[in-house]
Amino acid sequence: MRGPRASWSWRTLGLRTASLAAAGLVASAGIVVGWQLAGPTEVETPLGRASLNVAPDASGGVDAYVPIADWGLRADAFDAPFRLEFEIRSIDRRGALGAASGDGEALEDARDELEAAALQSVLRAFLWGLAVALTLALALRALQPRSRRVRALAVPTAALAVAGAAACLALAALTFDARAFSTPSYFGRGQELSQLLAFLERQRDNDRYSVTFEQALRNFSAYLSEAPRAGDEPGRTVLFGSDVHNNALVLPALGRFGDGEPVLLAGDFGHQGNEAEARLIAPRIAALSDQVVAVSGNHDSNGLMQALAQEGVTVLGREGRLGPDGEYAGEPLVEVGELTVAGFPDPLEWEGDDPDAPERVFSFPELDDGEALEDEAKAELVAWFRALPRAPDIVLVHQNALAQHLASELASDGDGRPLTIVTGHNHYPQIDRHGAITVVNAGTLGAGGVLRAGQEPAGLGQLHLQGPDRTLQSVDLIRIEPFSGQAQADRVVLDVVCPPDDDDDEPCHYEPEGL
């Protein structure tokens, strides 16, 4: 009898587990449908008229969006399976000006009313969700008697709906952190996003990066009231990227971010660097901005880089700048606004006549004695940098391994002079801080190449350097959907993610979450 009993016990356990899972699905569906039926909550705030809405989201958080400006911000303010969506419908300029000016009473009123409106919206949505879930439970209970198993779902559906709603609300309350509003992600389209990021950079003061909701609210209000334009602080901000990989489809979306601002590009413009790629990509790269500065990558060729130079791109090399005739001349440095930029061409740039040659290789491991040759390239890079006629503020180096080696060697010198190294090659956005030397990588401008266009975002970055020694203060890591132009940006403040007084012997490494 032990065998049949055991079989019956496992069967019973399986049926009960399946019933609970079904009840959970019905309860969850009821709550989500209830959120949709609840609709947005319309409120008047000191900043203007706004709507608040609750929507399902696995990671939780708060989205604030301004349709009339086509930009918004996202803060991971709590951990719960729903998102609070805040949308400004109309702007009260007087209220926004009061909050932006730092008026304590205005900020307090704005904060209190927004918090009350958010709480009201969340509670309203969950009440609607519970009402729908309980209605579904009653409907299950009212089924015909022969539907006994389905009718049995009524009680667990109701119980799980009540318990789930209470757990979600409790989790949101317990994990809420107002400091998340001081380090949000920004999203928008083209120049609107660039204007927002440039404006926030101008808001720097003694408590610019204080972790207070009031400061975040003040910046938000200031942008609404001033409607600023980009470019008020020229010379210290520059866009950067790498790894286009012949994907001309993404370049129109990238061009909308330039608006004449200089662009630094760290190599891999093509796949092979042949003549067809040069004809396709060179004029489009040159059209990205009024000033484009570039170095080669391991997928580029001398012919492709010459085509870029002929289109007006400043191509940097070890001995100078590449001319339309294919010869390097002049200083190996260029002034970009108030910044001095140098660039090291990739050691694997193809210098032969046929970039499609079967014997061509694209990485050091493919070469005989590849490790020794890579070590030689690293030593040449360091020697080249130390022999420059004057110290640059930014250096372009395509291969990440070479860039990290240069940073490590210069940091070991201990002179404390800041330097920013723009790199690429590995297609991952990341920031590495070696003391005063910072290596930045925006990912891949080519969004994974032509065959993957639309499946991966294009990665673009923006550097903000400050002070007489041109210290890198913050980096905007921008992800762009190539076809729609929709973008999201993470503002990375170096002293926040990598404190300068950190005694760790290893370089500080940062990668944005979710990538």
pLDDT digits (tens, 9 = 90+) for 272-299: 889 999 999 999 999 888 899 999 999 9
Please name the amino acid found at residue 83. R
Distance CA 244, CA 300 (A): 11
Q: What is the DSSP letter of 95?
A: H
* Percentage of the chain lying above the pLDDT 70 cut: 76
pLDDT band at 205 (very low <50, low <70, confident <90, very high): very low
Window from 4-8, 144-148, 386-390 with minimum mean pLDDT: 4-8
The CA angle 418-420-421, to the nearest 5 degrees, is: 140
The reported pLDDT for the residue numbered 196 is 63
Average pLDDT over residues 392-404: 96
Q: Are 366 and 347 in contact (CB under 8 A)?
A: no
pLDDT band at 248 (very low <50, low <70, confident <90, very high): confident
pTM for the model stands at 0.63
Q: Calculate the average pLDDT of the chain.
A: 81
Q: Where residue 103 falls among pLDDT bands split at 50, 70, 90?
A: low
pLDDT band at 500 (very low <50, low <70, confident <90, very high): confident
Q: Which residue in this structure is represented by tokens 């489009």?
A: 284
The pLDDT value given to residue 207: 42
Nearest to 73 by CA among 221, 234, 208: 221
Q: What's residue 228's pLDDT? A: 37
d(CA 372, CA 176): 53
Q: Tokens 């949000």 map to which residue?
A: 184
Integer CA distances (angstroms), 406 to 179, 266, 342, 441, 480, in order = 36, 15, 13, 15, 30
State both tokens at 186. 């920004």
Residue ranges with strand state E in 337-418: 339-344, 394-399
pLDDT at 4 (0 to 100): 53
Asked if residues 141 and 154 have their Cβ atoms less than 8 Å apart, the reply is yes
Range with lowest mean pLDDT among 32-46, 90-104, 469-483, 494-508: 90-104
Average pLDDT value for residue range 63-91: 77
* CB of 443 closer than 8 Å to CB of 429: yes
Amino acid at 497: V
pLDDT in tens, 210-233: 444 555 555 555 555 554 333 334
Q: How far apart are CA 241 and CA 254, in angstroms?
A: 10
Which residues are paired to 508 by β-bridges? 433
Q: Provide the terminal-to-terminal Cα distance of the chain, rounded to the nearest Å.
A: 56
Tens digit of each residue's pLDDT (9 = 90 or more) over 23-38: 888 889 989 998 888 8
Q: What is the pLDDT of residues 292-324, one digit of tens each?
A: 999 999 999 999 999 999 999 999 999 899 998
Amino acid at site 461: G
Tokens 């085509």: give the residue: 307
pLDDT higher for 190 or 118? 118
Measured distance CA(326)–CA(304) in Å, rounded: 10
Contact 304, 277 (CB under 8 A): yes
How far, in Å, CA of 174 to CA of 177, rounded? 9
CA 74 to each of CA 52, 202, 456, 460, 494: distance values in angstroms, whole numbers, following the listed order: 14, 20, 20, 19, 20
User: What is the reported pLDDT for 157?
Assistant: 87
Q: What is the pLDDT of residue 69?
A: 57
Q: Please write down the HEC assignment for all residues of 448-466.
A: CCHHHECCECEEEEEEEEE
- Alpha carbons within 13 A on the beta-carbon side of 391: 11
The rounded distance, in Å, linking the Cα atoms of 446 and 424 is: 12
Measured CA angle at 352 (ends 244, 397), to 5 deg: 40
The superfamily CATH assigns to domain 237-510 is Metallo-dependent phosphatases (3.60.21.10)
pLDDT reading at 261 higher than 50: yes
What confidence score (pLDDT) does residue 462 get?
A: 87
Euclidean distance between CA atoms 443 and 454, whole angstroms: 15
Q: How confident is the model at residue 487 (pLDDT cuts 50, 70, 90)?
A: low
Residues near 293 by beta carbon (within 8 Å), at least 6 away in sequence: 262, 263, 264, 265, 313, 314, 316, 334, 336, 341, 343, 396
- State the pLDDT confidence band at 333, using cuts at 50, 70 and 90: very high
How far CA 412 is from CA of 91, 374, 405, 408, in Å, comes to 53, 20, 11, 6
Which long-range contacts (C-beta less than 8 Å, at least 24 apart) are formed by 379-387? 380/347, 381/344, 381/405, 381/406, 382/406, 382/409, 382/410, 384/318, 384/344, 385/342, 385/344, 385/410
Contact 397, 407 (CB under 8 A): no
pLDDT band at 400 (very low <50, low <70, confident <90, very high): very high
Mean pLDDT check: name the lowest of 4-8, 275-279, 365-369, 464-468.
Answer: 4-8
Domain ranges of the chain: 17-226, 237-510
Tokens at 120, concatenated: 């009201």
Extract long-range pairs of 113-116: CB within 8 Å, 24+ residues apart: 113/43, 113/45, 113/46, 114/45, 114/86, 114/217
Cβ-contact 427, 443 below 8 angstroms: yes
The CA distance from 433 to 513, in Å, is 18
Give 149-204 pLDDT, tens digit per residue: 777 788 888 899 899 999 999 999 899 887 777 677 777 655 556 666 666 665 55
The SS3 assignment for 249 reads helix
